[in-house]
Copies of this chain bind each other. A is one copy, B any other.
Amino acid sequence: MIVKKALGLLTFISYFSIAPAQQVQRKVDFVNPFIGTGAAAGLPGCAFPGPTVPFGMVQLSPDTKEEIDARPCSGYDYKASTIVGFSHTHLNGTGIPDLVDVLMMPTTGEIKTNAGTEDKPGSGYRSRFSHEQETAKPGYYSVQLLDYDIKAELAATMHAGFHRYTFPEGKPWNLIIDIDHTSKKGTKVRSARIIAAQIRVIDNQTIEGYRVMTGWAKLRKVYFYARFSRPFTSTLMQEGTFTYPDKKLTTGNADIKAVVTFDKTGGREVLVKVGISAISADNAKENLDTEIKDWNFDRIVAQTEDLWEKELSKMDIEGTTEQKQIFYTCMYHAFTQPNNITDVNGDYTAGDMTIRNAGKKEIYSTFSLWDTYRAAHPLYTLTQIEKTAGFVNSMVLHHKSYGFLPIWELWGSETYCMIGNHAIPVIADAIMKDLPGIDVDEAYKAVKETSMTDHVQSPISIWEKYGYMPEDLQSQSVSITLETAYNDWCVAQLAKKLNHMDDYAYFMKRAGFYKNLYDAKTVFFRAKNSDGKWLEPFNALEYGHNGGHPFTEANAWQYLWYVPHQVKELVHLMGNEKKFGDRLDRFFTYTDTSTKVNHNASGFIGQYAHGNEPSHHVAYLYNFSDRQWKAQFYISKILNEMYSATPQCYIGNNDCGQMSAWYIFSAMGFYPVNPANSIYNIGSPVLKSAVIRLDNGRSFTVKTTNVSKANCYIQSMRLNNKPYNKSYITQADIVNGGTLEFVMGNKPSTKKLINYTEPN
């Protein structure tokens, strides 16, 4: 049965229509990699549909743009009608483009070496495609390239891509290898600039090469080693304006491509397997040969699917089919990164751009920390304990070589994107939760040094001198003040746990610095200059972007709520629970957007913008007000209205799994408002049930009664068969195993849920 959903001008065809009906549905069957791949407007999702293993280095996926830009950074837009080729590395839901390394594109007939233009089918080597002849599932992607009548299928291992192309009889069979395919080139700071590149024919079934580039990541070296299942009879190479037939090598730094044309003897399939490494072509070869030893494409597909089934089976949910599709795809997206950047032999590129060896450990990168510390990393502390140790250890190693913890790290390279030092809550959370495999003293050293070292957008000495960030000395001052205060609280809690009581006192003092920017008169956090005076004029609706304004990708309304460590103090600053509730009401209902909205802000409910991270915890703050039921109302609304099993899912950039993690937690009924206090705040569950299968062999079960879109209000709760009246559960509640039961109804309950005491 073809499942079609009308989505404006688009139709969305589930791959379920193509996959054979299965007797027992596996979790992977609910994952739809097309979810989040198509923006209706703004920046929803920005997922890529191609295959990857969990946390894989290689993420092989179709690109629809010839030069990847921010819309979408994943390279694939569900609205597009042509595909330019299949590249081996991708970003999932970021706001800045990069990667898309080593593009391959099969064609037939006349050889074209230019990519063509997205909007012009028939231009260049790109091909039209139709979603009706396109399939994706974890570990597998296929599409019919209509201009060439080629079936393209993709699979992936940790370090290698696997392509299977089925060519039509008749015209010559070509494969383009485009090393010049990048994000937008140019002279701006984050524009792509290829420093050096090479394609080299080793023999008539083997090609290797590399490119070294600067872009969003300051420096990336990408080496590849490609083996072909059948010989090619000719190679054509392009160097800038030159096109050379029968060329075996091309080296340069501009516009380098190769085209091979295959011997057509026997069968119509051409398989290509491509190892990738950031170190050398030799390592790329070793990566490939370790992971794909033969030409059994289907076995690799099955193997990767099994890896995903194992990951997804850490959660077992009941709900509607759409809920399952959203939920398991959210898990899939949450486990798509951070990415392993270690070769199979342990080699990796450190933060100081030296080559090092990690032995048997894996080093990870793609740390979109301003986003992911909020819920994605807390999710990993429940479902990816071993990986969490790997993430923390990678961050601590980065600190060692780079001097401070990662801010936004990509392929081992600090990009200085966004603000704050949110590796700190990630590390603090992991240690506070006693996760194994972390050198706690080393980690604390990294956390403390990062908090004591002036660095880009973290002028700590100014922080200490003024007790806030003065806007005239450090732009984005209100956002940085609020987020640094929170990070400092995390350092303090870690210091206390490790009995560094002087540090504890010191950082707790800094953790309260947010109060220095609270303006009781306007009831906002506002910017001051170094003279201690408020910055005038003040318009709480006015958005900042990423510099030049006190707020980061948000306005004063959205940052008003950023005191996750001392919510009760925030309530106190505003007066009392009623005034706090009134202010929240105003936030969720005040729809004026008379000033220009930052493009990252979307998914509005009043001033609440679910499409960007500053809002993510805010609905849960109603728990601290006199109208706790409104948390349930808004959370249910967001879950039901802003997520869907469609390409338009996510209402804003997925941001490397943060938007997914919000759904995963919230759909189960809780969410970490403070991502480092081992507490999850109760919201409004939408699933029938959910089981978290823990590494320790236990499981934690959420069950709901009478849940529906209308029945979004908690009537009563039971934890482990006992009545439960708290607005939160703890990490211990979960990891000890147990059952949390919700009875839902369509009327708010008047019972007061008890909030936790915030640790000082």
Contact = CB atoms under 8 A, between A and B. Distances in A.
A279 B214 CA distance: 19
A195 B218 contact: yes
Given A353-B221, A354-B279, A455 B404 contact: no
A541 to B, nearest CB: 29
Interface in A227-277: 237, 239, 242, 244-253
A355 interface: yes
B249 A403 contact: yes
Contacts of A244: 454, 459, 461
A453 B248 contact: yes
Interface in A417-467: 453-456, 459, 461
A287 interface: no
Contact of A198 (B219, B248, B403, B416): B403
A212 B218 contact: yes
Interface residues of A, number: 46
Given A214-B214, A413-B196, A455 B402 contact: no
Nearest to A462: B242
Contacts of A219: 195-196, 212, 219
A463 B253 CA distance: 22
A164 interface: no
Contacts of A529: none
A391 interface: no
A210 interface: yes
A280 B455 contact: no
A246 to B, nearest CB: 8
A196 B412 CA distance: 12
A193 interface: yes
A352 B414 CA distance: 23
A200 interface: yes
Interface in A373-415: 402-404, 413-414
Nearest to A402: B251
A280 B354 CA distance: 6
A281 interface: yes
A365 to B, nearest CB: 15
A416 B196 CA distance: 11
26 contacts: A195-B218, A196-B218, A196-B352, A196-B413, A200-B403, A210-B353, A212-B353, A218-B253, A219-B219, A237-B454, A239-B455, A244-B454, A244-B461, A245-B461, A247-B453, A247-B461, A248-B453, A249-B404, A249-B455, A250-B403, A250-B455, A252-B416, A252-B456, A279-B354, A281-B352, A282-B354
Given A212-B218, A242-B459, 19 more contacts: A187-B187, A195-B214, A196-B218, A196-B352, A196-B353, A200-B403, A212-B219, A212-B353, A239-B454, A239-B456, A247-B453, A247-B461, A249-B403, A250-B455, A251-B402, A252-B455, A280-B352, A281-B352, A355-B355
Q: Which 10 A-B pairs have the closest CB atoms?
A: A187-B187, A280-B354, A249-B403, A195-B218, A251-B403, A244-B454, A196-B218, A355-B355, A212-B353, A195-B219
